Amino acid sequence: MAPSYASSFCFVILLCSAAAEAIDGGFTVELIPRDSPKSPFYNPLETPFQRVGKAMRRSIARFAGLRSNAAGAPSADITNSGGEFLVNITIGTPPVQIVAIADTGSDLIWTQCKPCSSCFEQEAPLFDPSKSRTYAIVPCNSAKCQVYDQTSCSSRGSACRYQASYGDQSYTNGNIATDIIGLGSSSGTSIKFPGAVFGCGYDNAGTFDTHTSGIVGLGGGDSSLVSQIRRSSGGKFSYCLVPISSTSQSSSKLSFGANAQVEGGGTVSTPLIKKSQKTFYYLTLEGLSINGKKFEVSGSSGRGTDKGNIIIDSGTTLTYLPPDLYKRIEPAVSAAIHLPVAKDPEGFLKLCYKSSGEFKGAPNITVHFTGADVKLNWYNAFVNIEEDISCFGFVPSSFDLSIYGNVAQSNFLIGYDLTAAKLSFKPSDCTSH
């Protein structure tokens, strides 16, 4: 699942005044790391290193799906790879609790619905539209039917149908509908969004897990939560991700509107680049520095770097670099580390060393985006995959898609300002943010 971009559109959902006022003041919701004790996925018998290993495998699977979407393959804007962060939402009146994957790499908000012709197994009850007083099917002649680009109609006045397929062959099909969507804020109140567009899925299958019921898309497409509340939030949202290696019980935070302001000491900003694929958030990577030596992206010297050559994605664990850049930095990273060499048991990560806990002796690494030099901590670049093995969390991309993953983003307050078309980084302690 990946990021998105700012684009004004004529199908913005108008919120009632109470909801708009709440957003204007800003609000923050809890982002639950997939493997934390607060998550329904949590397995107390797993070691932290087993959880990291599973995250790596999800990252690999996700990368393939995102790549197919970026290339314009005939699939929807989402890929089912077991997203890294969960969010609790409610749908309907009375409100029904839904556990969903929060995904900056997809747009559509959807959940499984009754009566279901073919649904994957889930532990929570299915959402029953017939029991919600505020539920309404979107007809094909409504402008809201065009909010999501994978819709179809049997006739002008019939129900607006959607279909979304995934990189791993999972899929969801159903009706485009509207209802009240609620998000619980950190203040203890619930923020309500009347008339929000979402997908009510009646035919869903694939590798979905029983603990979740759907997805909350945070991408840049018109159907995403971010886009639907943009008029009231000012097009601003931010998150602060707790490091994957952290033993803290703290959850990550997702903020909107006034609460999403990222400023102050240490803040650096880079342009968000708009492309035809509106879901993803594109940045311009100019290069990396290893212990002060800069390695530029091919083409960045003299001819200029291609704009929007990397996407930032909260659901991908690793960072995938242009192959030529990775080929040049790998020996520089290796030469800077004086520890016994180890092997990744999964056989995927290339630079691994005997080390436990804090990775001492890690080189100083700075990621250079246009206008923003982001200095990484050791845990942004190295991950403990076994009790005594740490590996470099940057890998060469096997396709024409580069991704700045969530390990590199941890302990940074990252703000998306879609109106100003910029993304900001501020070093932070996300366990106390």
Q: Which residues are annotated as catalytic?
A: 103, 313
138 and 169 inside one domain: yes
The long-range contacts involving 91-94, CB below 8 angstroms and separated by at least 24 positions, are 91/127, 91/132, 91/179, 91/180, 91/181, 91/182, 91/198, 92/127, 92/129, 92/131, 92/132, 92/133, 92/134, 92/135, 92/179, 92/180, 93/132, 93/133, 93/134, 93/179, 93/180, 94/131, 94/132
Residue 65 confidence (pLDDT): 53
Residue 210 confidence (pLDDT): 84
Residue 208 confidence (pLDDT) above 70: yes
Kindly state whether residue 83 falls inside one of the protein's structural domains.
yes
Residue range 131-148: mean pLDDT, rounded: 94
156 and 229 inside one domain: yes
Last residue of a domain, one of 235, 253, 271: 253
Residue 209 confidence (pLDDT): 79
Which of 8-22, 116-130, 284-298: highest mean pLDDT?
Answer: 284-298
Last residue of a domain, one of 194, 221, 253: 253
- Is residue 313 a contact partner of residue 66, using CB atoms and an 8 Å limit? yes
Residue range 333-343: mean pLDDT, rounded: 95
Residue 9 confidence (pLDDT) above 80: no
Kindly state whether residue 52 falls inside one of the protein's structural domains.
yes
Kindly state whether residue 12 falls inside one of the protein's structural domains.
no
117 and 209 inside one domain: yes
63 and 201 inside one domain: yes
211 and 283 inside one domain: no
240 and 362 inside one domain: no
Kindly state whether residue 6 falls inside one of the protein's structural domains.
no
Residue 31 confidence (pLDDT): 62
Residue range 410-420: mean pLDDT, rounded: 96
Last residue of a domain, one of 253, 275, 310: 253
Residue range 309-315: mean pLDDT, rounded: 90
Residue 77 confidence (pLDDT): 28
The long-range contacts involving 347-350, CB below 8 angstroms and separated by at least 24 positions, are 348/56, 348/60, 348/395, 349/56, 349/383, 349/385, 349/391, 349/392, 349/393, 349/395, 350/391, 350/392, 350/395
Residue 303 confidence (pLDDT) above 50: no
299 and 161 inside one domain: no
Residue 199 confidence (pLDDT) above 90: yes
249 and 277 inside one domain: no
Over the chain, what is the mean pLDDT? 81
Residue 362 confidence (pLDDT): 93
DSSP 139: B
240 and 288 inside one domain: no
100 and 210 inside one domain: yes
Residue range 382-400: mean pLDDT, rounded: 88
Residue with tokens 């804090």: 358
Which of these ranges, 209-213, 270-274, 351-355, has the smallest mean pLDDT?
209-213
Residues constituting the chain: 433
Residue with tokens 């819709």: 151
Whole-number percent of the chain with pLDDT over 90: 49
Domain ranges, residue 411: 262-427
Residue 59 confidence (pLDDT): 54
Encode pLDDT of 241-256 as tens digits.
Answer: 888 766 666 677 889 9
Kindly state whether residue 11 falls inside one of the protein's structural domains.
no
Residue 212 confidence (pLDDT): 82
Give the CATH number for residue 381: 2.40.70.10
**Which carries the bigger pLDDT value, residue 163 or residue 33?**
163
| Closest-CA residue to 226 (of 215, 238, 235) | 235
> How many Å is the Cα radius of gyration of the chain?
21
Kindly state whether residue 221 falls inside one of the protein's structural domains.
yes
Kindly state whether residue 154 falls inside one of the protein's structural domains.
yes
25 and 141 inside one domain: yes
Specify the number of domains making up the chain.
2
206 and 333 inside one domain: no
Q: What's the CA gap between 285 and 296, in Å, rounded?
A: 9
Helical (H) or strand (E) element with 348: none
Residue 51 confidence (pLDDT): 57
Residue range 136-141: mean pLDDT, rounded: 94
Kindly state whether residue 5 falls inside one of the protein's structural domains.
no
Residue range 174-203: mean pLDDT, rounded: 88
